[in-house]
Amino acid sequence: HFSGSFLSNIRALPFSGKGTKSGRIALIITIPAVGLSLLIAGILCICLRSRRLKKNFKTVPEDEIRTAESLQYDLNTIRAATNDFSDANKLGQGGFGTVYKGTLANGQVIAVKRLSVDLGQGDRQFKNEVLLVARLQHRNLVRLLGFCLEGTERLLIYEFVPNSSLDNFIYDPVRRSQLDWERRQKIIGGIARGLLYLHEDSQLRIIHRDLKASNVLLDAEMTPKISDFGTARLFMVDQTQDATSRVVGTYGYMAPEYAMHGLFSVKSDVFSFGVMLLEIISGQKRSRFCIGDTVEDLLSYAWRSWREGTASNLIDPNLTSGSRTKMLRCIHVGLLCVQEIKADRPTMGAVILMLNSYSTTLPLPSRPVFILHSIPESDTASRSGNRQNKESVNEASITELYPR
């Protein structure tokens, strides 16, 4: 616009007499000079802007590359630590891969998840998920130490948690007796705090989507650590829910809106926590809950017992000591977490308050959805392999973080 106006004004200037020839010569010299100056200025602006954009664009990837390099382990180091992935060091196996115990040269004991080769996840996606989980730091989350990506090998390296997973205690009639009321309270509170961190207290908002007893590890002091973030989703700070056509997780622990419509939110994790809370109190698995010779859905029995004032029948007979009032309160909180309408379920912050403040009056829970009884046993087996706990997984990502 500037050059057009400038040229039109010049064309309008009158030329006469002897000055005409010299004026034309001056114009011939001036116009290209001005045009060239404008062209050079434009090129300089573009170059400077491009350099700034390029510099800004590079900052994030370069930071991520440096982070990835600091987390990366050499394959030979891991082979040596696990005695070349020997069966003697095998801790467990599932559809996602095999977990091995290893010892580094400095004496540090680690757990190595060797992911299945045919799972088809790209290198970039694998690294992104590793970097995401590496940013989560909480005493009730399993700690990722690093990864190895060489050739077809994809390895995840974690802190070693000696007491295996919660399901190996809570579902075992013998080992369950080791979990007295004090320990169960500690486990319940730790899981709740870990979830609260994921939902509200970390720099990211994470929806776990597959919370269950087999994905809670227990350290030497029986401190619970949530694992398996392979199906987790990252939310924006102000995001409340999301939807997917690729439902992943475990039947019986999935919230109804997620299992049936693919809708998930923090309240989906709250539902899963509620199921697990009732399992910890009863000492039985939801899908195999037994009263005498009768097999019944845990949620339906808990709801009916609470309504009839016989909720104490749900309490594990191994819990011979401890406050009955606190146990019944846990059942009440569990029923609030598994309500059908997600808006009625409490947040994890409210759950922790209700579990710790006994002066707080609890609302009445509404009826949960009973859907598990309609799922045949063949459908509740894991698609991802013949796992010991026979959990149902519709689909799953390969970055299952060190569950059995």
Q: Looking at residues 58-63, what average pLDDT do you find?
A: 44
Task: Answer yes or no: are the C-beta atoms of 175 and 235 closer than 8 Å.
Answer: no
Which is higher by pLDDT, 264 or 402? 264
Kindly provide the b/e burial profile for residues 221-245, where b requires at least 16 CB atoms within 10 angstroms of the residue's own CB. Answer: ebebbbbbbbbbbebeeeeeeeeee
Options 167, 210, 228, 297, the catalytic residue? 210
Which is higher by pLDDT, 241 or 333? 333
Which sequence spans correspond to the domains of the chain? Answer: 15-44, 75-159, 167-380
Pick the closest to residue 159 from 183, 177, 140 (CA basis): 140
- Does this model's pTM top 0.75? My answer is no
What the block records as the tokens of 191 is: 């899981």
Looking at every residue in the chain, the average pLDDT score rounds to 78
**The domain defined by 167-380 carries CATH number 1.10.510.10:** yes
In degrees rounded to 5, what are phi and psi of residue 49? Answer: -65, -40
Which is higher by pLDDT, 393 or 77? 77
Q: What was the pLDDT predicted at 359?
A: 85
pLDDT digits (tens, 9 = 90+) for 372-400: 444 443 333 333 333 333 344 443 332 33
Are domains 75-159 and 167-380 of this chain identical in fold? no
Q: Looking at residues 239-243, what average pLDDT do you find?
A: 63
Q: Span 75-159: which CATH code? A: 3.30.200.20
Q: What was the pLDDT predicted at 59?
A: 36
Is the pLDDT at 78 greater than 90? The verdict is yes
Tokens 């195999």 -> residue: 288
pLDDT digits (tens, 9 = 90+) for 274-331: 999 999 999 988 877 767 666 778 898 899 999 999 999 999 999 999 999 999 999 9
To the nearest whole percent, how much of the chain has pLDDT over 90? 44
Tokens 């063949």 -> residue: 378
Q: What was the pLDDT predicted at 297?
A: 84
Q: Annotated catalytic, 84? A: no
C-alpha span between 96 and 117 (Å, rounded): 9
What the block records as the tokens of 230 is: 């392979």
Residue type for position 164? S
pLDDT category at 234 given cuts 50, 70, 90 is: confident
Any idea which of 12-26, 66-80, 317-331, 342-356 has the lowest mean pLDDT? 12-26
Q: What was the pLDDT predicted at 285?
A: 87
Q: What was the pLDDT predicted at 122?
A: 58
Residue type for position 323? S
pLDDT digits (tens, 9 = 90+) for 323-363: 999 999 999 999 999 999 999 999 999 999 999 988 889 99
pLDDT digits (tens, 9 = 90+) for 199-213: 998 877 888 888 999
pLDDT category at 243 given cuts 50, 70, 90 is: low
Could you tell me the CA-to-CA distances from 298 to 96, 155, 227, 271 in Å, in that order? 28, 37, 24, 14
